[in-house]
Structure formats: C-alpha cells, structure tokens
Chain A
C-alpha cells in the first residue's frame, strides 16, 4: 500500500514538472531566453584611469549582446568605452578577444567587435526590438553578469517607461550622461556587472540596455531604451562616434510656471540658462525666453520628462545648420536663427606625465563651457601623484597649465611635444604657469626630485 502511494506521488510529481504541464508564461520566458541568451557576452575590459596622477589599469566586468553577425556587440560606455583591451566570454564559455569600435558617453553606449577568427562556436545574433511600444507592467528579462556571475537571467516587469533624472549625472570617468534619453525602469534584478546587458521582452527582442541600478534598493534598475541605442549604433558604425549639434541652451519644464510666463498648457519650452560663448548667446537668446516653434514645428516641455526629447531634436540637426526659432519674450514674439556647432567631445584625451608624476587632459570646447574657461588652450591637470616632482612643487588636481617656462599659452599637442623635449634633454627645472581659482600661480618643477624617487623603487 505504501509503495502504491509513493508511486502515485511520483507520477504526480513527474506530471507537474514535466513539459506537458508547463504554463504559457513559462513557455514564453523560455522562448525569450532562447532567442537572446545565445547572443549574450560576458565582457572583461581592461580600462585606464588617470585620476590618481598616473595611468592605472583596471580590470572591470560587464555584459553585452551580439547584434550583428560580424561580431558587433553593444554594451555600456562605462564598461568598455575606455578599454585598452577586452576579453569576452561567449555563451558556450569559450573566450575571445574583442576591440573597441566606438563609444558615446552621453548615452552610455559602446560598441565592441569580437575577434571571431579563433572562435570555434557559432555566433548567434539577438534582435533589437522597439522601446516606444513598451507598456508599464509588461514582463521583461534582464540578462547579464551580475557581480560577474555570467549567463544570469532575472525576471520582472517594466516599472516605468520614462524615468527622468533631474540634475547632472556623470559617468565614473567624468563625462556627463543621460541628457538625450529617459530611462526604462524595471524590477528585474540589475546589479553591478549587469551593465551593458540586454533587457528583453517576451518576444525575445531587446528593448533596452541595462545600465544603472539603485544600490541598497530592491530591484530598481534602469535601461537605456533600445530606440535610442539603435541610433547610437548607427552613428558609431558609420562615423566612429555620434555627431551632435549644440547651441548651448539649458531648458526647464514649464509646469507651474505657465501663468507667470503667460503661456498656454503644453505650449513652448522654457530656456533657463544660456551657456557662455555659445551659438545661442551669439544669436541673442536669453534665460526666460520661451521657444514656441522650432523649424516651424510647435515644441513643448511642460514636464521634465519631455526635455530629453527636445534636447535630442536640437542635437539631431546637421552641424552648421540653421535652426529657426519662434520665441516668446515677455509680451513679444521674436524670431531667432541659431547656427549650430558640433557638440564635440565631452572630455579631452589623457596623457600621463610619468616623469613628473601627474596626468593631464586636453581641454575640449565642452570642458571650457563647463568650467567657464576663456579658451581651450592649456592642459587640465586631472591628477597629481601623492609623491612626485609635481606634488612636491605644489601642482594640484584641477589646475590648468597654460605655459611652460613662461612661453606663450599652448595647445595640448604643444604641451605634449614640449614635455617630451624636457624629458629627453633632462631639463632640471621647469616653471609651469598655472591657472587656479584666484588667479595665476607659478609652479616650479624640479625634475631632480623625481629621479631620486625612481631610484628608490
């Protein structure tokens, strides 16, 4: 009798867990899994960091997904955008090398290409979906390597489709990010290491690239909508980067301010701030102006969530093109034409001045705008080693070196060349002219200090 009951139980169990009893939802999850998991890549880039005053290599872990049969993988900029070399682990656990094709810090997207020459497996490609049709509450999977645990799948719903982060967000490497997109929020678990991995709908299509999570919270993760990513991919594959127009306006939602400015609901975009030396300033735009139409199309941003799309509309203009704006200023309506400039790189390239113990960055136009600099001449000191000739001399992070030995202000290239000359000729003393809050400072580097330093090692 006991044996009989056991048999019945066993049959019942087999029945329950067997395929025959699978729920429709489970089937869909399996299907979605099968269409993306074989394209999931575990990424281990070695990135460089210049903030401590020397070039430091750092091994990080992230996720990515193959979207093209030639081996192109999309991931986050903060994972691979600064990679020197990249090792990827394929879904079959084979390792292949990859190279960086290009990155876009503003959307936190990077493209790498797998070296398939020595890969014995068969490459699988995942399909990019449509993020505009997402619904709050819709089921999704997040795939990736949370805490470096490769090939992990988590499951949840879309929590919201247009999460906006007020204020300025910066990547760990210092670039501003997230200006041109809202975020998909999901409760599918996203942890460090998931970065760059796909957010997948139950049709097995990628709807977002998982990029951020709220630490110490339960399942509050954020994905970059795939429709934004698609444009970035196109830009990087075509030009190696995303080319954007810039006019230098900061805008603000009009909610609660309509009666003050005398606008209708859902009418106009409020300019809150004008970047100095920008095309907008040249064109005479002012804080408090309300853009009613752009290129004869009505525009509006009543809520902050609408701002990224407006900024993107400006950025999507060809470089050097004219944007016709219909602007409300107080009681009057004026017409302003702004000629766009290229937005350009957020941050300049890095250089390690190893012999003197500090690192510098080239100053880009955006850095000059951000830091209210008159021009892009000189180099920005991004880090000073604690012990070294530069630290000894009193050079500080954030200083801008404008001149060497009182020669006229120079460019990054000139700095680079002159620096190398000094090292070659073993110059003992070099006077840096440095700009620092509160004026100019003279900093005398004594290279002899450094030599003693080297011998210690």
Chain B
C-alpha cells in the first residue's frame, strides 16, 4: 500500500514536472548559441521625406552555414497599416547586423521575406566554411489546451545577458479561418522567438494569425472595420515546425515570391445572396470580373460564375472577411499548379454545375517588388508599372510609363514639379515604358547635359508637360 502511494507520488511528480517545470538551464545554454539579435536599417518614406530607421529584433540561426530567421514585419512593404498611412517601407533592409549572445557581430545579406508568416531570412557573411550552431525544429502533431510553452525574449541592449525566459500556454486550438494553435501569455515583441515545449524541444516560433479583414490592399474595407477593437487584438500562436522547415529548406527569394494567381475579381457568396439566387451552397466565391488572358479566362470562367469547390473541398467563404483565406490558398499553391474547381453558373434556364481545371500562373508583382531606377542627377526614383496600378486607379491598359516612387526635396525633379505618383510617359520625347527606358533616357543626359528636359506625365487622370531646369 505504502509502495503504491510512493509510486503514485513519484508518478504525479513526474507528471507535474513535465507539465510545468522546464529544464531551463539546459534550454538556455543551447538556445544562447543560436539565438541572436538582428539589427535592421530600414528606409522609410512619408510622401517625399525619406529617413533611415533602425529596428532591433530577435532572430535564430537555422542552418550551419549561417541562415538566420527574424521577424520580417518591420520590412513588410505590404503591411496594410503602412499602406493606409501613406508610409512606404523599402522592400529590403539597407543593412543587417547579426549579434550573437556572446556579443560577436556579423554582417548579413538579406535573402527574402515570407509573404504569409512575415518571417525574414538573411545569411551571415563569413570567411569560408565557418559552421554555426543552429536550431532544429521538431514537428508536433497536436497541442493540449493549457500545456506550457516557453520562449526567450530579447532584453534591452543595455543589459547583459540579453536573453530572458518567458512562459505562456496553449489557450485554444483555432479551426477557422485556418488551423492555428493559439497561445496566451506572450506579447507581440516576442514574435519569431523559438517556442519550446516542457521537454525543451523547439516546436516552432511565435507568430500571429493574420486578421483576414485587415489584409490586402482594400483600404476602405479596413476603414469599415475600424470600429471593432477586436480586429486589432493580435492573436499570437505557434508557427509550426513543418512550415518552418519548408521555409528553411527553400527560403523565399528576395523580390521574387512564388504566388499562384487565377486572375479574377471576387466576392464572397453570403448566405443572403445564395438564398436570393437559389444557390444551394454553404459558401463560395462570386466571380465579379475575369482578367483578360488570365488562367481563369483561358479555362472559360466567366463573370457571374460562383466557385464552390476547390480540389474537391467546399469553399466555405461566406463573408467578405474570409476572402483572403481563399486568396491565400490559391497563392500558396504556386504558379504551375493545376487546380480543380467546381463552378456554379446561373443561367436563364437554370443552374449548371461545371468542373473546370485551371493552371495557375505567377501572380503579378506588387508595387514594392517592381524594378526601380534611381536617378542621382534628377533625384527621383521611378519604378515599373504593375498590375495593381491599373487595378487600383482603374487605368486604361494603353497607359504606359514609369511611376515616380520618390522625389528628393530640392532636387531638380522636385523643383521642376515632379510629384510622387506621377506616371512619366516620356522624357524629352523618348517613350519611357519601363525603368530601363527611363534609365537610358536619363543616363544619356550625363553626356548631352541639356539645360532643360521636358517630362510628359500622367497625373490624376490628366496629362501634362513638366519642364525641368538642370544644373550640371
């Protein structure tokens, strides 16, 4: 009997040990080898003003050759808040410094940022062959609500050591809009910190669940949701090993992200509209418009079609806020993916159900990814026009030019009257349809040194001529 009690006590204590007591000494000594501070220098511009901003955040070495993972949010040029506030963030950091916990500093080269997790990647530049200790994530199948998790938080620069422990727990297993293990007790500054379970296994990193209502370019929709404070409540949780290992194996390339694209304008099939149209579906995507020559167009999808199944699974989008979930799925499938869609077509004689196969293509690049050219004489930065420009401003597809991205105050361009957002159609009569055209036109002036240069620009749906006086 006594033995049983002793045994029980032992078992219980083991149980409680594994539930609440981490072997922090062990975790700490390992983590301190691959946990780093990442210092980014970012270019931020408001209108015509550009300044450099510094950002310090936590990172981890994830491969022996010095691949480092860090929080990419500060350099997320698609961040809806910066888009809305008119703040432009350079798509790439100007410089990256990786600081080890022992104080050793390395310069790193930017690799890219994952569009979905917002995790950034860079590689430490070293003399040949230096091997780094690195973290290896282990896949976890499921999480129990209430189970403990720990991470290391980055302490301010003026204290030493720079790492401290924080603990939290699994607070919910979220199922919609996507599966997500929610945690409690952590904060936003700890995003991208490695999460350890009670056994000390690195199971993932802290990330946040993107609020679908706040994603994308649709500023007006964001304005609508401003009244709801809950939209701003960050939902933090686990970005799992599976996703991370995939990213580590094939880190996102700078300026080039593989994103699948259908080429439709879309709207959610709400229960009300479904009922109004007598469509028997829990949800779906109403095709509002099909981009000409897009995959959807080639596959025969037409305006008014309702997409109800994707790869045999029902599309459960029944409110506008959940549209990004579908967009993300398509995007993640990547270019070249063959996608099976079930489509409902409403016709006068009744409702048809069609099976349509679409091969996705690479999504058009975003303004931030567009090739740029900076002219140091005229002190303007221009970029190629992208699909989004035509889409957002409802531009005629005949309109060709380069978009003025930045204008240095007091420079030739600024004094002459060039404004950010202008679309330069020609320079001294030479058509500028791409940044290469603009570069050729402007660089040739290094030799000819004209006293005046005439730009023909599009601004607010009107065109005008701008005379720029030079001062070689």
Chain A positions within 8 Å of B, measured between CB atoms, are: 168, 250, 252, 256-257, 259-260, 270, 272-273, 287-288, 370, 372, 394, 396, 429, 431, 437-442, 444, 446
Question: Given that A272-B462, A273-B463 are known contacts, is A444 also in contact with B289, CB under 8 Å in the complex?
Answer: no
Partner of B465, one of A257, A440, A442: A257
B464 and A257 within 8 A (CB):
no
Complex Cα distance, B153 from A86, in Å, reads 68
Chain B positions within 8 Å of A, measured between CB atoms, are: 220, 265, 267, 270, 272-273, 276, 286, 288-289, 303, 320, 391-394, 396, 428, 452, 454, 456, 460-465, 467, 469
Complex Cα distance, B153 from A107, in Å, reads 65
Residues of A within 8 A of B462 (CB): 250, 272-273
- How many Å from the CB of A180 to the closest CB on chain B? 18
Residues of B within 8 A of A250 (CB): 462-464
Partner of A429, one of B276, B452, B454: B276
Question: Given that A256-B467, A438-B265 are known contacts, is A446 also in contact with B272, CB under 8 Å in the complex?
Answer: yes
B276 and A272 within 8 A (CB):
no
Complex Cα distance, B454 from A252, in Å, reads 13
Partner of B454, one of A260, A396, A438, A442: A260
10 interchain residue pairs of minimum CB distance: A439-B289, A439-B265, A256-B467, A439-B288, A273-B462, A273-B463, A272-B464, A260-B454, A440-B288, A444-B272
A441 and B452 within 8 A (CB):
no
Complex Cα distance, B462 from A370, in Å, reads 10
A442 and B394 within 8 A (CB):
no
- Which B-chain residue is minimally distant from A272 (CB atoms)? B464
Residues of A within 8 A of B303 (CB): 440
Residues of B within 8 A of A257 (CB): 454, 465, 467
Complex Cα distance, B455 from A287, in Å, reads 13
B286 and A394 within 8 A (CB):
no
Residues of A within 8 A of B392 (CB): 437-438
B286 and A442 within 8 A (CB):
yes
- How many Å from the CB of B448 to the closest CB on chain A? 14
A252 and B270 within 8 A (CB):
no
Residues of B within 8 A of A270 (CB): 465
B289 and A287 within 8 A (CB):
no
Residues of B within 8 A of A438 (CB): 265, 288-289, 391-392
Residues of B within 8 A of A370 (CB): 461
Residues of B within 8 A of A287 (CB): 456, 463
Complex Cα distance, B274 from A429, in Å, reads 12
B452 and A260 within 8 A (CB):
yes
Question: Given that A260-B452, A396-B220 are known contacts, is A288 also in contact with B265, CB under 8 Å in the complex?
Answer: no
Complex Cα distance, B463 from A167, in Å, reads 12
Complex Cα distance, B154 from A270, in Å, reads 62
Complex Cα distance, B462 from A168, in Å, reads 11
Question: Given that A252-B464, A260-B467, A439-B265 are known contacts, is A444 also in contact with B273, CB under 8 Å in the complex?
Answer: yes
Question: Given that A259-B452, A260-B452 are known contacts, is A442 also in contact with B273, CB under 8 Å in the complex?
Answer: yes
Residues of A within 8 A of B469 (CB): 256
Partner of B289, one of A168, A273, A440: A440
